[in-house]
Amino acid sequence: MINTGKLAGKTIFVTGASRGIGKAIALKAARDGANVVIAAKTADPHPKLPGTIYTAAKEVEEVGGRCLPCIVDVRNEDDVQQAVNAAVNKFGGIDILVNNASAIHLTGTVDTPMKRYDLMHNINTRGTFLVSKICIPHLKASSNAHILNISPPLLMESRWFKNHVAYTMAKYGMSMCVLGMAEELKSDNIAVNALWPKTAIATAAMEMLGGKDITKNCRYPDVVADAAYAIFMSRSTGQFFIDENVLKDNGVTDFSQYAVDPSQPLSPDFFLPDEELKSFTFNIDGLYTQKSTKNYSDANSIEGVFNKIKSLLNEDLVNKTSGVYAFYITGPAEEVWFVDMKNGSGSIGKGDPPSGKADVTFTLDMESFIDMFNGRLKPTSAYLSGKLKLKGDMGLAMKLEKLM
């Protein structure tokens, strides 16, 4: 989407903007000549995640914006207040707030540490509320005020809760802020909306969840940034936007420009309504809608897969992996198998691992298991959709993906 220059001189305050979607939105606004406040925690380089508030600020200035980098933990009221005060002192006010900062931990109830629960709720829900609360008095003075939360439509369907209820609650908390504040602030002429990607987005968080290979089925953060820009050009409020739909309504027809690898099918994001999921080659309920015609009723198919894995084992691979895996396969054939890639040259067999407790336990049905090891179903997609349940070391689980 082409920049119009309409954000020139406007001040946009973006949380979590040192990388990913937040930074992409900041850069989009900067190309108009906007004043950008980069509000994020990363001041020093992170060992695993690229970018700091200072490298992001440099990029903002290189494309034509003015920038104020602020060290902000959205859980800390003093941090937020100081950053807002600094923004108002430097730029004279705040016109747009983007609540992008977010934390994610995809685990079921029993496997969710309360520390992680608190982190997600304190950043996602409380942080969004807090930053909005402190910015609102300044937004009231703007002629084109916006609050935009990077959060999903409020779909009260069990499939979006059952595998990661704590994360869904925290993310939906951001969307509930939209539902309430849009009506609350309507008389103050402050537009409050939510924006959510239709597809998975190639960010550092996505790579940490699914490895670098998953990004080939993603779009770049620019697709969200362009949609956010279009929303800033309108006066809609109380809406739960999907990025692709926003861009289509604004005349965008070529979405290949946003794809990391246009030759690959795109993965859907969480929290999409059925009408959006239908456009994917695979979707949340049946990741590949075109099912294989192969008959999987024969339990020997499982044995065949494990025999194939066994043929790949060697001492070098075992040393590089150093993990013991257990597979609980449900369906017509209830079976338990182990893959020991920690001891000797590795071993495979039926039953629980002889060495004791597995480092990683996978639970999935027989069809999904066979599809996964034959390349028809991506492990990350299986996990995100709930077809694959995982318990244990996520890093070791990702190592095993190379065998699939």
pLDDT per position as a tens digit, 188-245? 999 999 999 999 999 877 776 655 667 888 999 999 999 999 999 999 999 999 999 9
Confidence of residue 404 (pLDDT cuts 50, 70, 90): low
More confident site: 381 or 123? 123
Question: CA separation (Å) from 70 to 38, 42, 136, 275?
Answer: 6, 9, 19, 40
Does residue 333 carry a pLDDT above 80? no
Domain with CATH 3.30.1050.10 in the chain: 302-403
- Average the pLDDT over each of 262-271, 292-301, 326-335 and give the range with the smallest value: 292-301
Does residue 402 carry a pLDDT above 70? no
**Distance (Å, whole) CA 32 – CA 230:** 13
Q: What is the mean pLDDT of the chain?
A: 88
For 62-122, give the DSSP string. HTT-EEEEEE--TT-HHHHHHHHHHHHHHHS---EEEE---------STT--HHHHHHHII
- The letter for the amino acid at 169 is M
- The letter for the amino acid at 27 is L
pLDDT tens for each residue of 267-279: 899 999 989 988 8
CATH number of 302-403: 3.30.1050.10
Does residue 284 carry a pLDDT above 60? no
Domain with CATH 3.40.50.720 in the chain: 11-288
Q: Clarify whether 328 is annotated catalytic.
A: no
CATH number assigned to the domain with residue range 11-288, chosen from the 4 options 2.40.110.10, 3.40.50.720, 3.40.190.10, 3.10.20.30: 3.40.50.720
Catalytic residue among 167, 258, 325, 383: 167
How high is the pLDDT of residue 296?
Answer: 34
pTM, entire model: 0.74
Does residue 46 carry a pLDDT above 70? yes
Instruction: Label each residue of 206-275 as H, E or C.
Output: HHHHHCHHHHHHCECCHHHHHHHHHHHCCCCCCCEEEHHHHHHHCCCCCCHHHECCCCCCCCECCCCCHH
**Distance (Å, whole) CA 207 – CA 203:** 6
